[in-house]
A and B are shown apart, each in its own frame.
Chain A
Amino acid sequence: MRSFAFDQPQDFAQAIRLGSGTGQGQTDATTQFLAGGTTLVDLMKLDVLRPERIIDLSPLQHSYDALNIGASGLRIGALAKMSSVADHPAVKAEYPAIAQSLQLAASAQLRNMATLGGNILQKTRCSYFRDPSWSSCNKRVPGSGCAAIKGVNRNHAVLGVDDSCIAQYPGDFAVALVALDAQLELNGPQGPRRISMESLHTPVNGQPHIETTLRSGEIITDFLVPAGPWNRRSLYLKVRDRASYEFAISSAAVALDMDGETVRQARIALGGMAYRPWRSREAEEVLSGKVLTEAAAESAASAALRTARTHGDNDYKPELARRTLVRALMQVKSHSMTAGI
């Protein structure tokens, strides 16, 4: 690991002031915020991230880890630990997809360490990104090429990719958030603002080294999930190579606003499949106003994967994604009918 300067700000204003070098969502920023450390310390050991300055946000944790459920929805401080939200009884009951996406992620130890804000900013698990002995990686070294396109790409993305990068977004929680129309509250040198979760991660557009729309020094302070009857009828289904403690090879977050057996509106996002947390409005449109049958779910799933691009080892993924989404939709329908919600 390379040497760095270390700061522990005692309040939020100090953190923002010290964080002015964090760049604009860039992988190679010379200043990095440290929250749980489960991505940052790992990637520093691998020499993938080389910050010269680290700003430790942990002294601020208890000012930004509150959780409230009210008439307008769910609000969670961004420094809350994954474990505390995954285990929260009201979140499990009212926002099951949120609780499931956290509970099915990582291990108990990592969930005790990682914060929600850090979780959504976790980096891809692409092995060419994580190993600097590969000279080609546009995300790590802009303009150097992509070793994964003709390499071992079994768990690389098939949606939202281009010729510069096929890295997969590995997280679960962010997938549930984009499905449920979550908003993020940010604060930074230019003051507070609110953005949609969907607009946080930038499309690849030939610039995979720019990952988010965060401005220099900006910190995610809160997550807001708007209230709605579909939240109770939500589900996060995760498919992986082993039963626990593994990243998704396919996942789906779905939430249904139903009128009897007819879909008023479906909210659908896919994980383990795309360059960024992937909302599928194509699939949602197919289901809108339809009776939710398996055939309707299959049509929606086909629409969701229409633009998939595979690269050999990951040829299996679109079909897996379709089946994952169909199962998720039928499961949430059957569960909500059984539970009478």
Chain B
Amino acid sequence: MGITRRTVLTGGTAAAAVGLSPWLPPTSVARSCVSGPASIALRVNGTQRNLMIDMRVTLLDALREHLDLTGSKKGCDQGQCGACTVHVDGQRVLSCLTLAVAVQGKHIQTIEGLAGTNGSLHPMQQAFIDQDAFQCGYCTPGQIMSAVACVKEGHARTDADIQEYMSGNLCRCAAYPKIVAAVKQAREKMEQS
């Protein structure tokens, strides 16, 4: 097996974590952890994942660097571009401004968990392909996760609504008109099912 940058990073973190204090289980007293790595559990796309990470690790970095789920993208890493959008308990949020340690016990869904178990694409994924709603594609996972939530929230009724409620996802290729078309296409499919 070839050594990639990712395996080096993952292995390095795991090695550094050996012998450090575990996350205390929930009790009637406050759950606490001093600085440094701790054992935490995340529920991602329906699967419980245990990992040993530093308190400072964001949900985005936990997904990308520790769980090999690189579909969620790091754009600005400052909560300004939306490329890192995932769902936490069904709500679209920015994983770059979310501390992984703070979302234990919550249901996290990423772009990797959107397609059916048989590999069939989610109507929103299919609509982005049908409408050619991307160019470089870097913002697309965030756009799709945001768009799925946008439809479920009932904020995709009109073009103006879609533009307003999708404004947290920047596309520097400016595929915006086709993104609006894709959201409309998927909305109809999603409402039928």
The answer to whether A and B belong to the same complex is yes
Q: Which residues of A contact B94 (CB under 8 A)?
A: 38, 109-110, 113
Q: Which residues of A contact B31 (CB under 8 A)?
A: 7-8, 10
Asked if A5 and B32 sit within 8 Å, CB to CB, the answer is yes
For residue A171, give the distance in angstroms from its CB to the closest CB of chain B.
15
Asked if B35 and A109 sit within 8 Å, CB to CB, the answer is no
* Selected interface stretch from B1-9, B124-132, B161-169: B161-169
Q: Which residues of B contact A42 (CB under 8 A)?
A: 78-79, 97
Asked if B56 and A108 sit within 8 Å, CB to CB, the answer is no
Interface 1/0 per residue, A36-70 and B, CB below 8 Å:
01100110011000000000101000000000000
Query: Which secondary structure characterizes the binding site on chain A?
Result: mixed
Q: Which of B30, B78, B168 contacts A107, CB < 8 Å?
A: B168
Q: How far is the CA of A108 from the CA of B168 in the complex (A)?
A: 6
Answer whether residue B29 sits at the interface, using C-beta atoms and an 8 A cutoff.
yes
Which single residue of chain A is at the shortest CB-CB distance from B35? Answer: A3
Given A3-B56, A113-B94, decide whether A41 and B85 contact each other with a Cβ distance below 8 A: no
Asked if B55 and A3 sit within 8 Å, CB to CB, the answer is yes
* Selected interface stretch from B63-71, B113-121, B145-153: B145-153
* Selected interface stretch from B41-49, B98-106, B181-189: B98-106
Answer whether residue A106 sits at the interface, using C-beta atoms and an 8 A cutoff.
yes
Which single residue of chain B is at the shortest CB-CB distance from A104? Answer: B164
Q: Which residues of B contact A237 (CB under 8 A)?
A: none
Asked if B102 and A37 sit within 8 Å, CB to CB, the answer is yes
Asked if B55 and A4 sit within 8 Å, CB to CB, the answer is yes
Given A4-B35, A7-B30, A42-B79, decide whether A110 and B168 contact each other with a Cβ distance below 8 A: yes
Q: Which of B32, B58, B85 contacts A109, CB < 8 Å?
A: B85
Answer whether residue A337 sits at the interface, using C-beta atoms and an 8 A cutoff.
no
Answer whether residue B91 sits at the interface, using C-beta atoms and an 8 A cutoff.
yes
Given A4-B56, A10-B30, A34-B99, decide whether A110 and B35 contact each other with a Cβ distance below 8 A: no
Number of interface residues of A (CB under 8 A): 33
Interface 1/0 per residue, B155-193 and A, CB below 8 Å:
100000001111111000000000000000000000000
Q: Which residues of A contact B79 (CB under 8 A)?
A: 38, 41-42, 110
Q: How far is the CA of A5 from the CA of B94 in the complex (A)?
A: 23
Q: Please count the residue pairs between chain A and chain B whose beta carbons lie under 8 angstroms apart in the complex.
A: 103
Answer whether residue B82 sits at the interface, using C-beta atoms and an 8 A cutoff.
yes
Q: How far is the CA of A42 from the CA of B80 in the complex (A)?
A: 10
Asked if A41 and B98 sit within 8 Å, CB to CB, the answer is yes
Answer whether residue A159 sits at the interface, using C-beta atoms and an 8 A cutoff.
no
Given A58-B102, A108-B149, decide whether A113 and B93 contact each other with a Cβ distance below 8 A: yes
Answer whether residue B16 sits at the interface, using C-beta atoms and an 8 A cutoff.
no
Q: Which residues of B contact A9 (CB under 8 A)?
A: 30
Asked if B97 and A38 sit within 8 Å, CB to CB, the answer is yes
> Which of B26, B99, B165 neighbours the largest number of chain A CB atoms within 10 Å of its CB?
B99
For residue B17, give the distance in angstroms from its CB to the closest CB of chain A.
14
Answer whether residue A245 sits at the interface, using C-beta atoms and an 8 A cutoff.
yes
For residue A241, give the distance in angstroms from its CB to the closest CB of chain B.
13
Answer whether residue A205 sits at the interface, using C-beta atoms and an 8 A cutoff.
no
For residue A80, give the distance in angstroms from its CB to the closest CB of chain B.
13
Q: How far is the CA of A243 from the CA of B164 in the complex (A)?
A: 8
Answer whether residue A213 sits at the interface, using C-beta atoms and an 8 A cutoff.
no
Q: How far is the CA of A314 from the CA of B149 in the complex (A)?
A: 38
Asked if A107 and B99 sit within 8 Å, CB to CB, the answer is no
Asked if A37 and B98 sit within 8 Å, CB to CB, the answer is yes
Answer whether residue B73 sits at the interface, using C-beta atoms and an 8 A cutoff.
no
For residue B24, give the distance in angstroms from its CB to the closest CB of chain A.
10
Given A10-B31, A18-B30, decide whether A244 and B164 contact each other with a Cβ distance below 8 A: yes
Q: Which of A2, A46, A108 contacts B92, CB < 8 Å?
A: A108
Q: A7-B30, A83-B91, A244-B163 are in contact. List 20 more A-B contacts (CB 8 A).
A: A2-B56, A5-B55, A6-B33, A6-B99, A6-B101, A8-B30, A10-B27, A10-B30, A34-B102, A37-B97, A38-B97, A41-B99, A58-B102, A107-B167, A108-B92, A108-B149, A109-B82, A109-B93, A110-B94, A112-B93
Closest 8 A/B residue pairs (Cβ): A107-B168, A3-B35, A244-B167, A245-B167, A8-B31, A112-B91, A9-B30, A1-B56
A-B contact pairs, 14 of them (CB 8 A): A3-B36, A5-B33, A5-B35, A6-B32, A6-B33, A6-B35, A14-B30, A37-B98, A107-B167, A108-B153, A109-B92, A109-B94, A109-B146, A110-B94
B residues near A (Cβ < 8 Å) are 26-36, 54-56, 58, 77-79, 82, 85, 91-94, 97-99, 101-102, 146, 149-150, 153, 155, 163-169
